[in-house]
Chain A
Amino acid sequence: MSRYLVRRLLIAIPALAGISLVLFTVLALAPGDPFEELATNPNVPPEVRANLRHQFGLDDPIPVRYVRWFTSMLRGDWGFSFVSRVDVVTLILQRLPTSLIVLGSAQVLGLLVALPIGIYAAMRPYSIFDQISTTFAFIGFSLPTFFTGLLFILFFSIYLDWLPFIYRADIGGTGWPWLWAHVKQAIMPIAVLGLFQGATTTRFVRSAVLEVIRLDYINTARAKGLSEKVTILKHVVRNALIPVVTLVALQIPGIFTGAVITEQIFRVPGIGSLLISSILANDTPVIMAITFVFACLVVLFNLVADLLYGWLDPRISYR
């Protein structure tokens, strides 16, 4: 197991290097110049600009810049935002908690929806309940999050006027009112993302449970007189959830990407909206750092999914 872990980690490093190389090449080939703003500003003499370019090492050849960038990334020195004049790490750490709270709750909500519905639908395949839930799952993942978001705002904020549609991180106050204000503004982004996740997962849970529920050992469990509840929860679900756990781990990077859109709709000050604003402002170090963080997440959760799968399913052997 630990040898497998080490080997898997060793595979992850070239993967990250490859991803960073792709990202860096894309940026290096692009025509945009982070000093464009200075170039058009008449108050900045060209010598200063040249000095700055030199100081930031923008005149060096691309491979040199890549190696320098990658080694400093590894050392934890992620550079300096051109726009907000703060360390990139500080900027990301500022935004990350908000994103994590929203995304984490959304994933939990998704599972809370998907597990009971998926399991129950699979217990009675092709029943009315199954057909209705399958239809809703289909609708759920065909509805793009940007449209659900707008519909939610339209209904809950404008028509009913129950929930605020702009997320504010700086709500003042203390105690319960403060907490309630925070919960209220988080409901819609969490629901939009969570229901989308839930719809995708429901289908998967259903088919995973259906695969297991037909197996012989389930008949045995029923035949020896176990109650339906024990049979389902202890015998079926445990085994059916193995692929579901893997799927959830693999979904997590995708949720982060989905967050880009949701955060933009509800103006959640998270890492996704930071990405959009820095792309629009041509803030290269921040863009690179966030994209790289996303890439790390993908690689990390692939690893987690592999390990979990092997840990949960003893039939998988590590070689």
Chain B
Amino acid sequence: MTPNGTVSRLREASATAPPEPVAGALPLPRRRGDRTLWQETWRRFRRHRLAILGAFLLAVMVAAVVIGPFIYRVPIDEIDFKAKLKGPSWAHPLGTDDLGQDLLARMLYGGRISLAVGVVAMLISISVGTSIGAVSGQVAGWVDHALMRVTDLFLSLPQLPLLLLIVYLFRDVLKRVFGPEAGIFILIVVVIGGLRWMPVARLVRAQFLSLREKEFVEAARGLGAPPLRQVIRHILPNALGPVVVAGTIDVALAIIAESSLSFLGLGFPPDIPTWGRILFDAKDNLDFAPHWAIFPGTAIFLTVLSINYIGDGLRDALDPRKVL
């Protein structure tokens, strides 16, 4: 029986309190209507109305930036001085910028990169954090001590200044090696992810420390499961709940970090119009072209808001103490 089954069954038991079978009556057959942890999470997540709304909104945004450029086929860099700084119209639904480039096309294209930065940076921070936390919590001893010192060190690094500094210093090298677009993307994603793994590492370590003393892990150990199997099959799946929540919030934070960088003029170059970069270009023309700043700003805001609500919903759904 998987530990997932145990957890969800216990959780259900505490919520509705049916009489549990007598201890020792192993093995329990899986009943119909039994749910795994993730089915149960989804059932609880659906109760959080705003989280569902956020998920829907985010899905719309993702669909727009993924499919949008195939349907809306206006080029992002078509310069048309006759139509520069125009507000929304039928020809240009979101207006144009100072070179007469179509904003909708630019936002759809740039949105792909903004969202991709968020997701990839999150994946980096989550995988680094989970590995370090898992090693730290499982191996213990001096390895644990050393890794936690490194985590503390990274936690006290000043994030934004360092981010600015690294991106500024290494931009040209990576551009030369990987080409302008991929180079900056790799740099930004690695730096943002590399400065955000510490909370996850601490979370995972704490989970490991408590989980590895639990009876089901002891049982696995008693049945002769090697350490790696204990970790991958039994401890890690049960430690993932908080990591999922942290990962969701990390996507939002990474999107904000990238937009901040681009907004300060130290992120993507002007030919890669991420939402933050469009804002950077728009900020000096606020008085005669407010739409130029409002649309990308709103896009960032709505994305971050939806992700935060999804994170909130997941936190409630994964919190076993909360009755939903």
A: which residues have CB within 8 A of B? 15, 18-19, 22-23, 26-27, 30-32, 138-139, 141-144, 146-147, 150-151, 153-154, 158, 253, 256-257, 260-261, 264-265, 275-276, 279-280, 287, 290-291, 294-295, 297-299, 302
Contacts and interface: CB of A to CB of B under 8 A. Distances in A.
Given A19-B153, A151-B297, A261 B161 contact: no
Contacts of A290: 161
B158 A147 contact: no
A299 B152 CA distance: 10
A31 B164 contact: no
Nearest to A302: B156
Contacts of B165: 23, 26-27, 279, 287, 291
Contacts of B294: 151, 154
B164 A144 contact: no
A261 B264 contact: yes
A265 B293 CA distance: 13
9 contacts: A19-B153, A31-B169, A144-B259, A256-B158, A264-B263, A265-B283, A279-B165, A280-B168, A297-B158
A151 B295 CA distance: 11
A261 B261 CA distance: 9
Contact of A146 (B152, B279, B290, B304): B279
Interface string B145-158: 00000001100111
A144 B161 contact: no
Contact of B286 (A150, A257, A261, A280): A150
B41 interface: no
Contacts of B309: 138
Contact of A15 (B156, B158, B173, B256): B156
A15 B290 CA distance: 46
A294 B161 contact: yes
B259 A146 contact: yes
A151 B279 CA distance: 11
7 nearest A-B residue pairs (beta carbon): A30-B169, A294-B158, A147-B297, A142-B305, A257-B160, A142-B304, A298-B156
Contacts of B153: 15, 18-19, 22
Interface of B: 152-153, 156-162, 164-166, 168-170, 172-173, 252, 256, 259-260, 263-266, 276, 279, 282-283, 286-287, 290, 293-294, 297, 300-301, 304-305, 308-309, 312
B283 A150 contact: yes
Given A142-B308, A298-B156, A27 B301 contact: no
Nearest to B309: A138
B266 A279 contact: yes
A138 B162 contact: no
A291 B159 CA distance: 9
B170 A257 contact: no
Contacts of A150: 279, 282-283, 286, 293, 297
A276 B304 contact: no
B264 A253 contact: no
A123 B96 CA distance: 49
A61 to B, nearest CB: 20
A178 to B, nearest CB: 27
A257 B282 CA distance: 23
A57 B153 CA distance: 28
Contacts of B304: 142-144
A264 B301 CA distance: 20
Given A146-B260, A146-B263, A260-B160, A30 B170 contact: yes
A138 B305 contact: yes
Given A146-B263, A260-B164, 16 more contacts: A15-B153, A15-B156, A23-B165, A27-B165, A27-B169, A30-B170, A142-B304, A142-B308, A143-B301, A144-B300, A150-B286, A151-B297, A257-B161, A260-B161, A279-B165, A280-B168
B47 to A, nearest CB: 14
A155 B43 CA distance: 43
Contact of A295 (B158, B164, B276, B297): B158
Contacts of B287: 158
Contacts of B164: 260, 275-276, 279
Nearest to A32: B169
A153 B282 CA distance: 13
Contacts of A151: 294, 297
B156 A19 contact: yes
A144 B260 contact: yes
B158 A257 contact: yes
B297 A291 contact: no
A274 to B, nearest CB: 11
Find the residue from B158, B304, B308 having the highest chain A CB count within 10 A.
B158
Nearest to A141: B308
A70 to B, nearest CB: 16
Find the residue from B276, B283, B312 having the highest chain A CB count within 10 A.
B283
Contacts of A294: 158, 161
Contacts of B152: 15
Contacts of B300: 144, 147
